[in-house]
A and B are shown apart, each in its own frame.
Chain A
């Protein structure tokens, strides 16, 4: 029987939205015992984006953790929370700035209970600046960090970004990385610490070179859309059907020759202006138009396969149904079906970690609100059945 990487580590997830739920999901997949504090009065807002317990995003990001239904606004509830925190190794929170302090569960308070705690706060703008207490959602962070200003085609009237919560899902990985490094430091030195992450800064850190363009060259980075200043073609091309696209990139002249051959050596591809990189980049508008004419009545999957067989980088602009027919993801076992007690069999991302000596846990479904309140009270807090019943009746605890 092999051990998991984070065997024996207990994590309290005071999380809402994407960043903390997704981060603690991954810690759970690595074997940590993760407990999510939540209540009907103060729920994770993603839970409330649809009927109870049936929100896909919530049920994806909250797997591999247990739900402890506790009202943190009551003194008794906070007492129980503190008892659990005292037993734990890590606390991660992304409530609005100032909320954990008002609950007496901020780092300074928690450190009194558990001096070597690793405590991560992850707000939109981090602490210390004028907007530390502002509530934040991913699409605001891409806006305020400068990311959105260059995430557009040059001729779009304004940047639209995405309907997905980016950069939240990248920020969540930074949280997990910070927790793991801090855990290892504690293992060697016995010291815990407080980590204060700003999600806007994660967005900026992911494109640091753009800021150097400004700070060192004094130029304002401009949006490039799908273009690349040193490669052409480099873009998304329309395919048959509704809103279907294929991405193609050609960097070297050898790739260009393979590309031309793969599409049947049409006359226009023999144009000497396209033979070398500078000519292709210079004449990219015309090149893009010709390629789009070739892709327009073809199937995106066929184009991808034809070009990949010729060793030209190409890929379907996938949406979920494409993911499900993707043979490589199937081979990697990247998608998993799980039976959730209220929504039945649904598809989720499988654990993305492939480690030879510490196989990650298999995926479990997201908890119902308060699903594990009873077992946590019995096993960790050593409470009697009567006591639990009484606190549930008083609205201090909640059980699914």
Chain B
């Protein structure tokens, strides 16, 4: 085995150790802080419902309490799900914060004037928070044109509501559901009771609120319209649940603040319903994204069965990400750079990791990265699924490739060894033949000349005759030894002649059907020759006294084949018979890329079948008969 095969084998072991089974992203139980959040949400929702129910301020306490409990529960749950599903994103924390603000807004149900005012401010903060959530979703920051809408929201509070709070004896609020009708406590923040100015500011507030609501609706619809398919999956549930709420909010502003009509029960019910539904979209969005990522993973896994090329994997990645520009790039640890599948180096800005590209590997070892559109940075579940599936597919390819490589290397080295051994045997045979055998033969000739001089009778003649006979025995021994080391016929004439010679000299009956199979490389001829010899010896040893052996050698267009069969007791039925002999044969054939099969049944004899593929360099000629 050569060193590269060894190092590959070690690499397999290391790969086993690389798999981190306790990945925190999977299968973790409920954490302590999750319990705390749930407990707080439960307590907050209960307190909020109690305040609203007992405060005697709210005109419709049942509806308001229901909305508050539902919102607090949904935001707490959504916050937990987001924190867990996307630990890298702070959107989960935003949802939790919004839940706190909604709780604070419940204080407006208190009859205490200060607490009521704090609740009213909390309600405004919750409104601004909801706007922030919608404008930043699925990130956590408001950027670009969204600031216009955010600005309108803040302006509504600063320019409309805040002066109104200083000028009105009672703070009614904008929410439309928590309004206190006639039971509002006195406004502790009242600076000047100026009903005319208050009406004007109410009008300003109404206009701004309408603009805020409409701006938000416009922003949501255009964002959705321009979004990619991947992003729409995430946006759809959020926008579908928030648009009615925002619309109701805008209509509320128009009807209350501008037209001055008091909100009726139907309007309040509709507004309550939209408020309950609104935060559920954030939960649904994330679940949709995860479900799609799971589907994508399953889809890719199905498509990646077998041995897809790198190009195929990349095509799949593009299709699943719905990003025709997406690319797979591969990390070269030695040169410490990424290259694409054509080997061209690709420079990836570390500042955009996670946004424009995501790396995948084993533990800390990078293997590849998916380079994707920036919007996919908001869909990390999908990118992770796609990256993991690609990694798996390419790992499989690499493992298989490495395995085949090491098997090839092993076979090649075995073949070199066997080839070297047979070349060495042949050289020894030649050396014997050209050296000591030559000298013995020359001596034998001279001995004969001496015998000739010594005459035909007498003591000397007898001694010389004995010496000649001993000489002949020595020559026979040497000849047999040289032949055993390497049969010269095999090298000179090939398999057919060498095996025919074996058949001629075999000590038990032997049916030989030997075709001219041409010449193969020396190592393969040697392997076949010794396999046949070994199999014949097995017949002699194991098949029984009456067994007749058959030796066949033939070829088809693709391979040279041989068989050694007997009609004996069955080779494999004898315990221990499947020993070194068979292993030797299998090794010999394996070393030259050949195969060996043994068929045997008790009483039905044994057949050993061997096959060696014909190679382009073999001088085998054409097959005469098909």
- Please determine whether chains A and B interact with each other in the same assembly: no
**Chain A contacts to B: CB under 8 angstroms:** none
